[in-house]
Amino acid sequence: MKFGVVTFPGSNCDHDMIDALRNDLGQEVIELWHKDKDLSMFSTEDCIVLPGGFSYGDYLRCGAIARFSPMMQSVIEFANKGGRVIGVCNGFQILVEAGLLPGALLRNENQQFVCKNVYLKSDNPVASLTKDVTGRPLMIPVAHGEGRYYADQATLETLQANNQILFRYCDEFGNVVEDANPNGATLNIAGICNKERNVFGLMPHPERATREVLGNTDGQLIFQSLINNN
């Protein structure tokens, strides 16, 4: 499986992602610049990654300007053909702004930037990103000021009916409780996918949890699930 990691002006987790995929997971990684358009080196079996950071300084809304980068039109076309796309943190915000994922990411409920380890749990046994980690709490860092997932009731019902919720914030024992929610996200949602389950958005940063020296390797399990179920 081949990964393409897109860098936007203001991206600051692109090299974290590249390093985790290339050196910790042993995957082929191609670095992509936001002004380029060519994705011809990727097949629909491969994956494009939109990393975290502050694309275009988060002016207007997070991800609102990056959505219009030349590369994003190619990413949208790639996703519509069935190619896999992952957006992490700011990348998740860009996917929402681009219309590839439903809902919105709002300012954290406490109006503060949150940076800490949290726990996530997936009850989604069908999405390739979660198939191998279903039912177990994973410790993954978050770092965001506008990560509170919100969607109207009709959208939430659709997400639940189509098994599009990837992860929910939980405690260390896997209990999905309000106290484990770092940002006030609706239904404790930490990540979702599209109906076709080839576009994935996560607020937490699995690329920051892939190495023993970081004190945490749970992020490897998420990426490995995607690779194993390609």
d(CA 26, CA 77): 27
pLDDT digits (tens, 9 = 90+) for 155-185: 999 999 999 999 999 999 999 999 999 999 9
Contact by Cβ (8 Å): 104, 146: no
Q: Which residues are catalytic?
A: 89, 205, 207
- Residue 10 Ramachandran class (φ > 0 left, ψ -120 to 50 alpha, else beta): left
Average pLDDT, the chain: 97
Strand order in the sheet with 138-144: 28-33, 2-7, 47-50, 84-88, 199-202, 189-193, 165-170, 114-121, 138-144
Low-confidence ranges of the chain (pLDDT < 50): none
The DSSP 8-state label assigned to residue 203 in this structure reads S
The reported pTM is 0.96
Answer yes or no: CATH 1.10.287.110 is held by domain 2-228: no
- Tell me the domain boundaries of the chain: 2-228
Tokens of 171: 């405690």
pLDDT digits (tens, 9 = 90+) for 172-222: 999 999 999 999 999 999 999 999 999 999 999 999 999 999 889 999 999
d(CA 39, CA 216): 33
Contact by Cβ (8 Å): 41, 81: no
Give me the pLDDT at residue 182, please: 98
What share of the chain in percent tops pLDDT 70?
100
Give me the pLDDT at residue 60, please: 82
Contact by Cβ (8 Å): 7, 34: yes
d(CA 146, CA 151): 14
